Amino acid sequence: MFFYLRNRVSLPLAIATSCLAGLPLAATGQEASQAACSERTLLHAKGTLNLRIDNDMFGGLDQDQGYSNGFLMSWVSPNLVNYRDDPCLPRIVRGLNRYLEFLQPGGFDEQNMIIGLGQMMYTPNDRRPSDLIPDDRPFAGALLLSLGYNARRGDSLRTSQIRFGMVGPAARAKQTQNAWHDLIGVDRFHGWDHQLRNEAVVQLLHERRTRVTRQAGADGWGWDLTRHWGASLGNFATYANTGGEWRFGLHLPDDLGTAPLRPAGENTSPLHAARNGDWSGHLFVALDARWVLHDITLDGNAFKASHNVDKRPFVADIGYGAAVYHGAWRIAFARYHRSREFRGQKDVPVYGTITIGRRF
C-alpha cells in the first residue's frame, strides 16, 4: 500500500529508497565502515527501524474524514560521532549532511539522526459526491522525505528537521487510499479529481524537549513528565506549538517521549538502557497545542488556484495510549482527539496510530 505507485516514482521516493535501503547496514559495500560501526556494542549505539500506520478507523468512531490515513517508515540512527563522517550513516546521507549543517544542533552529550519517508492523505466527510464539496476540506495527499537531527544533554533534547516532497497527484494518495479501501471492503471516495494540484513543499522544524521530573521505585514502576515547544516554517505548514507528555509504567525507557504524532515528535534519542528478554511497558497521555499560520491541506496551493477552507488559527491534539517493549521490539498504540481545524467542520477528528519498532 505504502509503495503503491504503478511504475511512477517521485523524487522524494527515489531519494528515500536510496537512503533507507542501506540503513540497517549503514554503509553497504564498505566492509571497513561496517566493521567500525558494528564494533559499538553499547545499547545506545544501536539504531531502530520503525513502521507507523495512522488511520481514523483505529479511532473507533467509524470516521473516514480529515487526516484519514498515513504511513511512515523511519530509521533512528545509533549515537553518532558526527553527522558527516560516521560510518553508521549511509554514504548518501553523509553527503547530504555536508549541506545541512545549519540544521545540526550543537552543545550535546549525544547526537543522533532520523530518516523518514511518509505518505499522508486528507479527505472531506462525504465520500459519495464526485463534484467539489465547497464547505468541506480539500482532498489532499502528501509524500514527504524527512531528515532530522537530535542533540541531547542530560534531560534536554533539541531537534531540527527538514521535510520535503510533493503535495498533489504526484503523491499518489488517491491510488494508495483506493487500494486500502479495496482491501478492507470499503467504498472509495469519488472526489479525488478535485484534490490539491502538484506543488513541491518544504518544511523546516525545530523543537526543544525537557524532562521536568522522573520518579522510579525499587520495583521498577515509575513515571515521568516532559514538556516541549517548537515551531515550523514552510509552504507545507507554518505554526508554533507547545505541549507535554506524562508516562507511567514499568521500567520506563530513557528516551524523552513515546514519539507522538507531531512531526518533530518522531525524533527520539537512543535508549540508555533496556531490559533485553524482559517485558516492560507504560501508559502515556500527550498534549500538543498549535498556533497555525499556514496549512496547505486547508489553505490550498500557494502558487496555483485550488479549493480551500477557512481554517481555525488554534488547534490542539490530545492523545493517550500504551507502549510495550520486549527485547529488541517495541509496539505502541495511541488514540488522538483533535479540535476542529476549520470553520464549519462537522465532526471532531478522532484517529489512531500503531507503531512497530525494532532495534538493530
Question: How many residues are recorded in the chain?
Answer: 360
| 26-61: pLDDT as tens digits | 434 445 455 556 555 454 557 889 999 988 777 655
Residue 39's pLDDT is what?
Answer: 58
> Does residue 6 form part of some domain?
no
Domain-embedded: residue 197: yes
Flag whether 23 is in a domain: no
Query: Is there a domain that residue 111 lies in?
Result: yes
> Is residue 234 in some structural domain?
yes
DSSP 263: G
Q: Which of 225, 226, 335, 322 is nearest to 279 (CA)?
A: 322
What's the whole-number average pLDDT of the chain?
A: 84
Q: How far apart are CA 281 and CA 300, in angstroms?
A: 41
* Inside any domain, residue 93: no
Q: Is the pLDDT of residue 277 over 90?
A: no
Q: Is the model's pLDDT at 97 over the cut of 60?
A: yes
- Number of Cβ atoms within 10 Å of the Cβ of 295: 24
pLDDT in tens, 205-227: 999 999 999 999 889 999 999 99
Across-strand partners of 146? 116, 163
Phi/psi for 26 (5° steps) reads: 70, -40
pLDDT at 148 over 80: yes
63 beta partners: none
pLDDT score, position 266: 62
> Which pTM does this prediction carry?
0.85
Task: Give the span between the Cα atoms of 84 and 100, in whole angstroms.
Answer: 10
**How many CB atoms within 10 Å of residue 218?**
5
In this predicted structure, the answer to whether residue 289 has a pLDDT above a threshold of 90 is: yes
Please give the tally of structural domains in the chain.
1
What CATH number is associated with residue 347? Answer: 2.40.128.140
Residue with cell 525507557: 253
Higher-confidence position of 207 and 183: 207
Q: Which three cell numbers stand for residue 197?
A: 494540484
